[in-house]
Amino acid sequence: MTRLAALARRPWIWSFVAALTVWAATILFTGGSSTVGLSQAALTFAAFSILVGIGQMFVITLGPGNIDLCVPATMTLAGTVALKFMDVDNTLILPGLIVAIAIGVAVGIGNYALIKLLQIPPIIATLSMSFIVQSTAIWTNRGLRIKPPEALAKFTTETSFGIPNVAFVALVLSVLAYVLLQRTVYGRWIAAIGQSIRAARMAGIPVDGTRFVTYILCAVLAAICGYLLASFSGGAALNMGSEYLLMSIAVVVIGGTAVAGGDSNVPGIWGASLFMFLVVSMLNTYGAGAGIRLIMTGLIIIAVIVLAGGRNPNQR
């Protein structure tokens, strides 16, 4: 019983409870016939949200006002340029990934340069940056849909041991992120900066360096996600990142990470990402139209945050 109570206090448990409930509701409606398909689809699509969500979580943990609005543009640019570079050549898959990561690093450096040198609030700095990155993507893409290399397309769309490959990628990166946050000095620094930037500075933490690395990390994760998503969906499209802007923020917050910063949560991102996908597919199975689906999604997000967010308002 005490173990159950301790579990209930974990901020991430609620997103999993919600995801499981919605999953069960959908399965019950279809009489269990869609169990495997639904679970695989959920894991696949959640994997992409998880990748961008983790990056966004690192940034949000840095404290109030820190947010990366450049995520969708970075995804698009990285996906476009990487696919163009690989040019359906299977041997260039790894160099292509490196190209995508390099774009992420470049965007991250650009973001932080604006924040630090021009002292622009992160929300506006990353917004301005996203305009420029998006333009670059339009310029390189020219409306053409470039196909991914065959082996890569196969890897991203297939499953091994019944679990989608992209979910494995997300799992590996999540574990790395968890270790980074919980077990390394860098992770402690992020949390400390998020809790009080003044105190962190006085404690001798390299605040600028930590923030710099964090913005790069977020952009790199977005770039990797763009690379995988473009390969998964058979080519890079200019609007492929657009839905991930709100999604990346939503999964972080529903997952139990404090919006005020200083307290992050990797498992919650998994629960929230699965939940976000499952809600939409549940409403689809119930035959709801686009309008109803949007309204329900919104109301459910609010309901979850009201139930989970107000748990202990006196904390902090």
Partner 1 sequence: MRKILSSDTIRLLIPALSLTILLISVFYLQPRAMSYTGLNLLFNLSVPIALATIAQMLIMTVNDLDLSMGTFVSFIACVAATFLQATPVLGILILAAAVATYAAMGVLIHVRNLPSIVVTLGMSFVWGGLAVLILPAPGGQAPEWIRAVMISKPPFVPMAIIASITIAVVSHFLIMRSSFGVILRGVGGNARSVERAGWSIIRARAATYALAAVFAILAGISLVGLTTAADANIALRYTLLSIAGVILGGGEFTGGRVSPIGAVIGALTLTLAGSFLSFLRISPDWQIGAQGAILIVVLGLRLLLNRLERREKRA
Rule CB under 8 A: choose which of 169, 250, 272, 274 binds partner 1: 250
| 173/252 with CB nearer partner 1 | 252
Instruction: List, in sequence order, every residue forming a beta bridge with 314; answer none if it has no partner.
Output: none
Is 273 a binding residue for partner 1 by CB under 8 A? The answer is no
Is 92 a binding residue for partner 1 by CB under 8 A? The answer is no
Is 135 a binding residue for partner 1 by CB under 8 A? The answer is yes
Three-state secondary structure call for residue 159:
strand
Rule CB under 8 A: choose which of 7, 24, 64, 179 binds partner 1: 64
Is 246 a binding residue for partner 1 by CB under 8 A? The answer is yes
| 6/246 with CB nearer partner 1 | 246
Please answer whether residues 288 and 296 qualify as being in contact, where contact means their C-beta atoms are separated by less than 8 angstroms.
yes
Three-state secondary structure call for residue 289:
coil
Burial code of 6-40, b = ≥16 C-beta within 10 A, e = fewer? eeeeebbbbbbbbbeebbeebbeeeeeeeeeebbe
Stated as kind and residue range, the H or E segment containing 145 is none
Please answer whether residues 28 and 240 qualify as being in contact, where contact means their C-beta atoms are separated by less than 8 angstroms.
no
Stretch that binds partner 1, among 82-90, 99-107, 156-164, 303-311 (CB under 8 A): 303-311
Considering Cα of 50, then 55, then 56, then 60, what sign does the dihedral take? positive
Stated as kind and residue range, the H or E segment containing 164 is strand 163-164
Is 294 a binding residue for partner 1 by CB under 8 A? The answer is yes
- Provide, rounded to whole angstroms, the least separation between the CB of residue 162 and partner 1: 32
Is 233 a binding residue for partner 1 by CB under 8 A? The answer is no
Give the closest residue to 280 by CA, choosing from 268, 289, 270, 293: 293
| 171/305 with CB nearer partner 1 | 305
Distance of CA 115 to the CA centre of its chain: 21
Q: Residue type for 146, please? A: I
| 29/139 with CB nearer partner 1 | 139
- The contact pattern for partner 1, residues 100-129, with x = CB under 8 A and - = no contact, is --------------x---xxxx-xxx-xxx
Cα separation values, 302 from 123, 161, 291, Å: 23, 36, 17
Per the structure block, which two tokens stand in for 61? Answer: 């943990």
Give the closest residue to 272 by CA, choosing from 315, 301, 295, 299: 301
- Provide, rounded to whole angstroms, the least separation between the CB of residue 131 and partner 1: 3
Per the structure block, which two tokens stand in for 8? Answer: 């209930």
Is 138 a binding residue for partner 1 by CB under 8 A? The answer is yes
Considering Cα of 71, then 108, then 172, then 81, what sign does the dihedral take? positive
Q: How many residues bind partner 1 (CB under 8 A)?
A: 48
Stretch that binds partner 1, among 11-19, 145-153, 205-213, 254-262 (CB under 8 A): 254-262
Is 237 a binding residue for partner 1 by CB under 8 A? The answer is no
| 28/290 with CB nearer partner 1 | 290
Rule CB under 8 A: choose which of 37, 182, 260, 286 binds partner 1: 260
Per the structure block, which two tokens stand in for 65? Answer: 């006002």
Residue ranges binding partner 1 (CB under 8 A): 64-65, 69, 114, 118-121, 123-125, 127-132, 134-136, 138-139, 246, 249-250, 253-254, 259-260, 289-302, 305-306, 309-310, 313
